[in-house]
């Protein structure tokens, strides 16, 4: 008998056919099992980090830097064997800077990609919208944003974003100590992070001897804010303290110049260095921004690291470890968001290694036990009661001098 030809006569015809079908079924089942085993083995070979990022929309500039910082860390880890022998894989989904798209992205990465952890960008509203079902799935969330609001969601989330009050403290302190400006206007976008900053900005102003004479709102995609600036100027504001990120910073700078407000200064929120440079080309020395040590100094790693706390050798080493490959790959691109993204993956790897596990609950508990961790962007210190990792203000007020970001004196 060859192929699918069956005996047409004899007493064993049915038995032979039954044996053949049984063997065929067994072989098919074996093939399926082997394929499943191979697929499981491939899955076990990788440590998957999902990232919901605003690669389009108002958060695009910063979140693209976050993505590249994640990948830089993954490459560095993979060169040394990955996490617990598993290759680190960064899975990115564009949330278009919108909460509803973030929910879709998170659900896809949970169900289809089966990620081990999330390490997402700076769209706070999107991260908060997904936090409930991510917490139920017991998957840690490392975030470039504020924490979700509910305690049961916060238990699974870790913020690598400096607290909003640090932005206010840095700018208000500079106005008080280095300028004669005492009347300020707040220009506020509708994002959750900016709304938090607004609360701190309002409460802290008297402590710094400042008076808020105007509070104006804008949308990130507004083509101009001339009306808002006009009202601030009429109220006597000497400085615009902008609460919000993105290209709107350049729009505000251009509007200040177009309106001839030649004594008004603009103090921007933390953001991408490219945006800061463009705004400084419009307003010159009337434009101020805030950034961490890694964002200032010359292009070389050693020079930038010198801006860190010189007594902290671990901080200098962390800055060098990040900047050397970053500069080699991306040149003088801004490092603010990217450095903290890099730090988040490195801390995640440290936690997983300490736990000797890739299970979500074990990693969560291990992050809470890492203790003070010196990163390139800041020092992080998480605990079971503290899920905002940055507890010391890392910000300096800066300006562009001769086209380079420089700490203001």
Question: Does one domain contain both 338 and 281?
Answer: no
Mark whether 66 and 98 lie in a shared domain: yes
Tell me: do 194 and 284 sit in the same domain.
yes
Establish how many alpha carbons lie within 13 A of residue 361's alpha carbon, considering only the half-sphere containing its beta carbon: 2
Instruction: Decide: helix, strand or coil at residue 407.
Output: strand
**Region 280-290: what's the mean pLDDT?**
96
Query: Which pLDDT belongs to residue 297?
Result: 58
Cα radius of gyration (the chain): 27
Instruction: Verify that 152 and 244 share a domain, yes or no.
Output: no
d(CA 98, CA 95) in angstroms, rounded, equals 6
Q: Which pLDDT band holds residue 18 (cuts at 50, 70, 90)?
A: low
- Which pLDDT value is given to residue 314? 79
Q: Is residue 128 part of a domain?
A: yes
The answer to whether residue 159 scores a pLDDT higher than 80 is yes
Question: Does the residue 2 lie in any domain?
Answer: no
Q: Tell me the mean pLDDT in the region 276-289.
A: 96
Tell whether 284 and 169 lie within a shared domain: yes
Instruction: Give the model's pLDDT for residue 237.
Output: 98
Helices 60-78 and 336-355, packing angle to 10 deg: 40
Domain final residue, candidates 224, 256, 291: 291
Listed ranges 28-42, 183-197, 305-319; the one with the highest mean pLDDT = 183-197
Q: Give the confidence band of 25 by pLDDT, cuts at 50, 70, 90.
A: low
The strand pair at 373-374 and 379-380 is best described as antiparallel
* 285 in the same domain as 172: yes
Tell me the average pLDDT across 321-347. 95
One domain for residues 183 and 157: no
User: pLDDT by residue (tens digit) across 53-66?
Assistant: 999 998 898 899 99
For residues 371 and 312, what is the distance between their CA atoms, to the nearest angstrom? 16
Residue where a domain stops, chosen among 260, 291, 322: 291
The answer to whether residue 42 scores a pLDDT higher than 50 is: no
Q: What is the count of structural domains for the chain?
A: 2
SS3 186: strand
Q: What is the pLDDT of residues 72-128, one digit of tens each?
A: 999 999 999 999 999 999 999 999 999 999 999 999 999 999 999 999 999 999 999
Q: Determine the Cα–Cα distance for residues 374 and 88; give it in Å rounded to an integer.
A: 21
Q: Say if residues 204 and 172 touch (Cβ distance below 8 Å).
A: yes
Render pLDDT for 396-406 as a digit per residue (tens, 0 to 9): 999 999 888 99
For residue 287, the cross-strand partners are 266
Beta-strand (E) ranges in 254-349? 265-267, 287-291
In a domain, 403, yes or no: no
Are residues 227 and 278 located together in one domain of the fold?
A: yes
Residues 116 and 153 in one domain: yes
- To the nearest whole number, what is the mean pLDDT of the chain? 88
- Residues 186, 230, single domain; the answer is yes
Range of the domain at 213: 165-291
Q: Is residue 181 part of a domain?
A: yes
pLDDT at res. 58: 87
pLDDT band at 348 (very low <50, low <70, confident <90, very high): very high
Looking only at the bridges linking them, the beta strands covering 404-407 and 396-401 are antiparallel
More confident residue, 297 or 174: 174
């Amino acid at each position: 008998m060859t192929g699918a030809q069956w005996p047409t006569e004899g007493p064993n015809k049915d038995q032979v056919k039954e044996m053949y079908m049984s063997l065929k079924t067994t072989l098919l089942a074996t093939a399926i099992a082997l394929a499943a085993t191979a697929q499981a083995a491939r899955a076990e070979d990788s440590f998957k980090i999902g990232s919901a990022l605003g690669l389009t929309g108002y958060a695009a500039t910063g979140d693209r830097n976050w993505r590249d910082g994640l990948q830089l860390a993954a490459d560095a880890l993979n060169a040394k064997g990955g996490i617990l022998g598993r290759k680190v894989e960064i899975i990115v989904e564009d949330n278009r800077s919108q909460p509803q798209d973030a929910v879709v992205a998170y659900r896809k990465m949970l169900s289809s990609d089966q990620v081990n952890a999330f390490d997402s960008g700076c769209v706070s509203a999107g991260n908060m919208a997904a936090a409930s079902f991510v917490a139920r799935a017991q998957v840690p969330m490392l975030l470039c944003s504020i924490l979700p609001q509910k305690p049961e969601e916060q238990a699974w989330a870790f913020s690598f974003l400096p607290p909003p009050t640090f932005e206010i403290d840095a700018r208000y302190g500079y106005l008080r100590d280095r300028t004669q400006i005492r009347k300020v206007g707040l220009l506020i976008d509708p994002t959750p992070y900016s709304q938090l900053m607004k609360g701190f900005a309002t409460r802290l102003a008297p402590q710094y001897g400042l008076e808020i004479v105007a509070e104006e709102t804008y949308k990130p995609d507004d083509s101009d804010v001339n009306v808002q600036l006009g009202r601030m100027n009429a109220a006597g504001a000497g400085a615009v303290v902008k609460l919000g990120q993105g290209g709107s910073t350049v729009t505000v700078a251009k509007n200040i110049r177009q309106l001839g407000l030649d004594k008004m200064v603009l103090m921007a929120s933390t953001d991408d260095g490219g945006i800061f440079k463009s705004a400084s080309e419009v307003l010159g020395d009337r434009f101020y921004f805030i950034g961490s040590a890694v964002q200032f100094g010359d292009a070389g790693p050693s020079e930038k690291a010198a801006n860190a706390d010189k007594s902290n050798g671990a901080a200098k080493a962390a800055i060098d470890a990040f900047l050397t490959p970053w500069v080699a790959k991306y040149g003088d691109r801004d490092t603010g968001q990217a450095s903290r993204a890099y730090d988040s993956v490195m801390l995640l790897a440290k936690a997983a290694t300490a736990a000797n596990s890739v299970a979500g609950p074990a990693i969560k508990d291990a992050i809470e036990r890492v203790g003070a961790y010196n990163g390139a962007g800041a020092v992080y210190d998480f605990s079971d009661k503290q899920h905002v990792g940055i507890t010391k203000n890392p910000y300096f007020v800066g300006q562009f001098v001769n086209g380079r970001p420089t700490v203001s004196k």
